[in-house]
Amino acid sequence: MQAVNGPGFESERKWMVQTQLIPRGISDKLVLDAFRKVPRHMFVPDAFADSAHNDYPLPIGGGQTISQPYMVALMTECLGLKGGEKVLEIGTGSGYQMAILAEIAGEVYSVERLQELADAAGRHLEALGYKNCFIKVGDGTLGWEEKAPYDGIVVTAGAPKIPPSLVRQLKEGGRLVIPVDCGFGQVLTIVERHGPSFKTNEVCGCVFVPLIGKEGWPENSS
Ligand code: SAH
């Protein structure tokens, strides 16, 4: 667990957990505690600080969004973390999901394709004192090979199909949580690696910005 010292908005965070997460079935104590602790308002543009805890995504620049609190919680819970793991996130965006993961996991790696977002996220995480977060700019559909294998990988952008590189970088029994296009929308999917093959579980429909890259959508789809 990491020290977080962002003052203010405690009651908003409590309200967010009580009204948006628990009633919808988020029950993992590690996840709920992380949501009570991480100062979400510090990851959104100043103009949106007062609405940071509301039940919807918000713009963060570069045409990208910070996901709705419930979706961040659901994806984190789907990873099934117990504490201390090595986790990879694809799509750093604001850095908020990373901070939530950093409260639970041992090391969190994240890949973002837009330099300006990676820089801002890095600054916010550093200001909050996280020492276990590592960001690189690049095409996250290829993962972060040098740091593999991972206990869990979470992709916070919608993919056309499951990127094989990400499955390859999972540990045995490790989980990839990813929104995948099914032809009429995106489905949040859990992929669990078992030897050379994997089994998939569909969780629910979802809406994410496109995952753009070699094993994602082509460049002009943003
Ligand atoms: N996890 C973020 C939300 C990210 S929105 C948060 O907590 O705020 C999705 C992000 O994925 C965007 O920032 C977008 O630039 C990024 N993205 C899209 N395709 C990518 C790729 N191939 N590799 C890395 N990042 C990608």
- Provide the whole-model pTM: 0.96
Extract the residue ranges of the chain whose pLDDT is less than 70: 1-7, 221-222
User: Who contacts 132 (Cβ-Cβ below 8 Å, separation ≥6)?
Assistant: 2, 102, 105, 106, 107, 108
Q: How far apart are CA 199 and CA 195, in angstroms?
A: 10
Strands 58-61 and 150-155: unpaired
Q: Which residue ranges form the domains of the chain, and what is each CATH number?
A: 10-221 (3.40.50.150)
Tens-digit pLDDT profile for residues 153-175: 999 999 999 999 999 999 999 99
Catalogue the active-site residues. 67
Q: How far is the CA of 191 from the centre of ligand 1 (A)?
A: 19
Tell me if 94 sits within 8 A of 117, measured CB to CB: yes
Query: According to the model, what pLDDT value does residue 1 have?
Result: 36
Tell me if 159 sits within 8 A of 180, measured CB to CB: yes
Tell me if 72 sits within 8 A of 93, measured CB to CB: no
Q: Whose CA is nearest to atom 16 of ligand 1?
A: 91
Q: How far is the CA of 20 from the centre of ligand 1 (A)?
A: 23
Query: According to the model, what pLDDT value does residue 220 have?
Result: 80
Q: How far apart are CA 111 and CA 215, in angstroms?
A: 14
193 backbone φψ class: left, alpha, beta (φ>0; ψ -120 to 50): beta
Give the containing element (helix H, strand E) for 88.
Answer: strand 86-90
DSSP structural state of residue 40: G
Q: How far apart are CA 104 and CA 29, in angstroms?
A: 10
Tens-digit pLDDT profile for residues 112-141: 999 999 999 999 999 999 999 999 999 999
